[in-house]
Chains A and B, each alone.
Chain A
Amino acid sequence: MESVFGLVGKDFAIVVADTSAVHSILVHKTNEDKIMVLDSHKLMGASGETGDRAQFTEYIQKNVALYQFRNGIPLTTAAAANFTRGELATALRKNPYMVNIILAGYDKETGPSLYYIDYIASLHKLDKAAFGYGSYFALSMMDRHYRRNMTVDEAIELVDKCIMEIRTRLVIAPPNFVIKIVDKDGAREFAWRESIKDAPVPTLA
């Protein structure tokens, strides 16, 4: 089961996701990136049905880009979150997307923010959020150690504690995680935490 979690620090927000693509008992790949970069200052970490996840996050990404093309300015994080909720809510009673989303962004005027959007389109702005079986461990670790206005180093320390807990205590724990950060300089990949590397592609000697 996929784990996604995120938290807000001082002038930045972090989203962490596991990177295993699983079908039944088979692990297809261990380096699947589940955190979509929506635009220069937004991250969307998603967990759930694989096809829905890939399709829906790409759909949101393209619509966020379209808004910027049409209007010349980017969406705020709150607006992107409410748009995402609206799309999920409209689809809910027709053909629901089974995707849980953690949307993190940085706005010049309001700073960093994090939005929890579950698959039935419940939206809430939070400082820390998590989805999946890993959430039982990540949320408890964050409840214990999270403070407001943490530095990047402190936040990464907390993220590593959460990852350790998930690896130790979850029976089918995902081996690898990707960490992405968004701050005033933009949204980017921060680090990977790997305990299993995919077999390297053999090259001709």
Chain B
Amino acid sequence: MSIFEYNGSALVAMVGKNCFAIASDRRLGVQLQTIATDFQKIYKIHDKLFIGLAGLATDAQTLYQRLVFRHKLYQLREERDMKPETFASLVSALLYEKRFGPYFCQPVIAGLGDEDKPFICTMDSIGAKELAKDFVVAGTASESLYGACESMFKPDMEAEELFETISQALLSSVDRDCLSGWGGHVYLVTPTEVTERILKGRMD
């Protein structure tokens, strides 16, 4: 079994009209056994920047700790928050540093950049950035997520509709993947507020 499929994960981020949504499943497993059903995979870097980390849980935790460290130093030096594009380059650099002994993680980065323009991107485990205008996916359920997002996505959705769309895409995709699921975690971010919601799906 691949090391990327050891813990199981599903991550998706979508762009709406002046807002974005980022969602993950909640399962922490060790191959076939489920350890926890409340595992956090999306982390807040600052109010307008979120990163989701799919893949091996230990590397996701290590990478998150390193990123928070780097961002806090940046805040102290620059006296401002990092822009999403800059942060994506930082993540890419950190991952490529370990080119021949990589972190087994796939990040999904979502943020509001200059003038609150939504920014999303994903990367492979050695930092190859993939920018997208509509949606990005990662994790063991990524193939299902691609299909679900492609069919459900419309450009310029408002916040509530975006939340509905991303939730339905996530839940229907994880239902086809045994390694991810046990509910969903959705963050909806607009220039003025961040809404965190927990989805109840099939608990299996």
Contacts and interface: CB of A to CB of B under 8 A. Distances in A.
Contact of A123 (B7, B56, B61): B61
A92 B35 CA distance: 21
B33 A124 contact: no
A89 B58 contact: yes
A120 to B, nearest CB: 5
Interface residues of B, number: 13
A122 B7 contact: yes
Given A122-B28, A124-B39, A136 B33 contact: yes
Interface in B15-47: 28, 30, 33, 35-36, 39
Nearest to A124: B36
Interface string A83-126: 00100010011000000000000000000000010101111101
Nearest to A126: B36
A50 interface: no
Interface in A119-175: 120-124, 126, 129, 135-136, 139
The A contact surface, by secondary structure, is mixed
Contacts of B61: 85, 89, 121-123
A122 B58 contact: yes
A165 to B, nearest CB: 16
B33 A129 contact: no
16 contacts: A89-B58, A89-B61, A93-B101, A118-B30, A120-B56, A121-B62, A122-B7, A122-B28, A122-B61, A123-B58, A123-B61, A124-B28, A124-B35, A124-B39, A124-B57, A126-B35
Interface of B: 7, 28, 30, 33, 35-36, 39, 56-58, 61-62, 101
